[in-house]
Each structure stands twice: as C-alpha cells, then as structure tokens.
Amino acid sequence: MKLALILCLFVFTILQIKGETLFAVKDQITGTQLLTVNPVTGNTTQVGTPIKDLRPLDTLTYDLNNGMLYFVAYTNSLKLFLISLRLDGSLHASPIPLNVDIVYNCFVNPKDGNVLLYAGLINEGESVFTIINVDIKKGTLKQIASYGKSKNSNIGISAFNYKENYVFTEAIDSFSNPNQTLSFIIDLNSGNVKQGIVKRKYGLEGKFVFDPKLNNLVGVGFIDHQDPFIVSCDPILNEEKQIVRLDSKFHSFVIGSTINYETSHIFCVLNRGFVGPTLLTVDYSNGQILSAASIGRLESILIVP
C-alpha cells in the first residue's frame, strides 16, 4: 500500500488516558497540534503550540509510566519520525527517524517503556508487514518479525496484548482473495508468527484495545454493515462475542475506538454519513450509552489506548 493513499489532509487521533481526558493530535497542514477533547460535548481545546513541518499519522499512544504521548509523523518529503510529546504539548526529545515506508499502529510496551511499530516495509522489491521495537532511550530500531504481504492489502484490526506479549494483526489481500481475512499473532519473545484464517460472525472495524480484566480485545463490529455492536475478541481461540448492541440510529462505520478498562468505558467514533462523525461513550459492562457528541467533519480518525 502506497503511503500517499492513506495520508490524509485532516487527521484526527483521539486518546483516552487516566481520568478519562481525551487527547488528540490534529493535522493542520503546516504542522501538528495537540488537543484535548470533551467526550460529552465534542469540543476541543488546543494544548501548547503546533509542531511545525510534521504531520501526524493515526498512531497516537500513551505511556502511563512516564506520562508521554507518542505518534508517528511525516515530513513534506514523506520521511517518517516517531514523536514524543509531554502532555503540555512540548516535545520531549528529538524525533526518531524510522526506516519504514508506512506505520499502521503504535503500542507502548509498559514492561520496558519502548514503542512497538506495526509497519509496512519494502524488502527487496516486495512489500511486507513488520513489527519493530523502538528503544526510546537509545533511539534505535530493532526488527522483531517480518511477515505477510502489505502490498494490495486492506489493513484490518490490530492490538497489543502486553500480558501475554504478542501483537495481533489482520489483513485482507484485496487482489488474490478479497473474501478471506488473514490473522497474524506475533510472539514478541521469539519473533515467531502464527498465521490463520479468520472466520467471524461480526465484521470488526477500527483498532481494538486489550482489556486485561477480560483478557480479550474490545472494539466495535457489525453484521452485514448493519447496526454496530461492542464486541470482545479472543484472537488465540479465534472467537468473538457480542457485549452490547447499539441503537440503530448509530448505523455507520467505525473510524476508531479506545477503552478505559478500569471503568469499562469504550470511546468510539462512528462516521454517520451526512450526520458527520459522532463520538460515542458506552459503558460496555451494562450497555448504557453515556454520551454521544458531534465532533465535526473529519477525513480520518483513529482512537488508540
């Protein structure tokens, strides 16, 4: 997949952190602006000043241990960098250059504070998926695994289970077999990759988030693109189950979602066509919708833990 196909003129990335404050990075064309987002009203507030000449990809993640935000951004020459921000919007360290062609997602490993990249890499003329560990203190990159073919693939859900130390990704080869979803479980200890074929009742969308209490991934799914459901997914057993069925008025597709597993709240952004994107907060322990707020016209959005 070419970088230009997934870069957006207006990128919004929302992050739920401790205290249920939502943070976002906004692409302002000339740079990146950190924002906070009120989940009840959808209103945003600028934090700090824009970071010039760097435009964000939908990769925002947060380190609870050091209070840092991380995301991948690109320059006008399409070079990629890992950015670290303090919560006041200031740069924590110099951007780390990334020798990859595209990054689909980022995860903070709470065990060592390093950042894991789920990326695409052109290797000897063939585009492949790769998992890379970024040592934040040293600024160095180490490839953990290389697998599959990212060229011509539609990227599915991805998540990081830090308790069992694996990354889970999905992809569909849009040319050779568009009706088949492939799953990949990457063991971060050994680098081994287990590939499987996914048989799902629900069409899962957006980025799923690991809930250590359920020991499962949680996110949003659909049946035949109808009403959305909050779904838990066990990638090891290749099973998923419905937690909550949402009201039919939220029929749409998911741009992204994240959870606060301590409160069992899921924040998901649903693109509702002419209505525009809606930020929905749901208690997935009982199915109660806590708030639904318009967040304005967005071209692309990704919510990550």
Measured in whole angstroms, the distance separating CA 228 from the mean position of its chain's CA atoms is 19
Amino acid 31: pLDDT: 81
Distance CA 233, CA 227 (A): 18
Residue 300: which of 269, 266, 255 has the closest Cα?
Answer: 255
Specify the pLDDT at position 115: 97
Which pLDDT does position 225 carry in this prediction?
Answer: 58
Report pLDDT for 274: 64
Q: Which two tokens stand for residue 2?
A: 């070419």
> What's the pLDDT score for residue 132?
96
> What CA dihedral angle connects 131, 35, 20 and 235, to 10 degrees?
-20
Nearest to 261 by CA among 209, 208, 204: 209
Q: 5 phi and psi, to 5 degrees?
A: -75, -25
Beta pairing class for 153-161 and 166-173: antiparallel
**pLDDT at 201 (0 to 100):** 66
- Closest by CA to 154, choosing from 172, 176, 169, is 172
Phi, psi of 248 (to 5 degrees): -65, -20
Q: Report the 3 state secondary structure along the chain.
A: CCHHHHCCCCEEEEEEECCCEEEEEEECCCEEEEEEECCCCCCEEEEEEEEECCEECCCCEEECCCCEEEEEEECCCCCEEEEEECCCCCECCCCEEECCCEEEEEEECCCCCCEEEEEEEEECCEEEEEEEEEECCCCEEEEEEEECCCCCEEEEEEEEECCCCEEEEEEEECCCCCCCEEEEEEECCCCCEEEEEECCCCEEEEEEEEECCCCEEEEEEECCCCCEEEEEEECCCCEEEEEEECCHHHCCEEEEEEEECCCCEEEEEEECHHHCEEEEEEECCCCEEEEEEECCCCCEEEEEC
Asked whether the beta carbons of 242 and 193 are under 8 A apart, the reply is no
pLDDT along the chain (305 residues), means of 10: 37 48 80 84 87 87 87 92 91 91 91 94 78 95 89 76 91 71 91 86 70 84 70 78 72 68 82 72 85 64 39
pTM attached to this predicted model: 0.84
Cβ atoms of 154 and 172 within 8 Å: the answer is yes
Which residues sit opposite 181 in a β-bridge? 172, 198
Contacts of 52 (CB under 8 A, 6+ apart): 30, 31
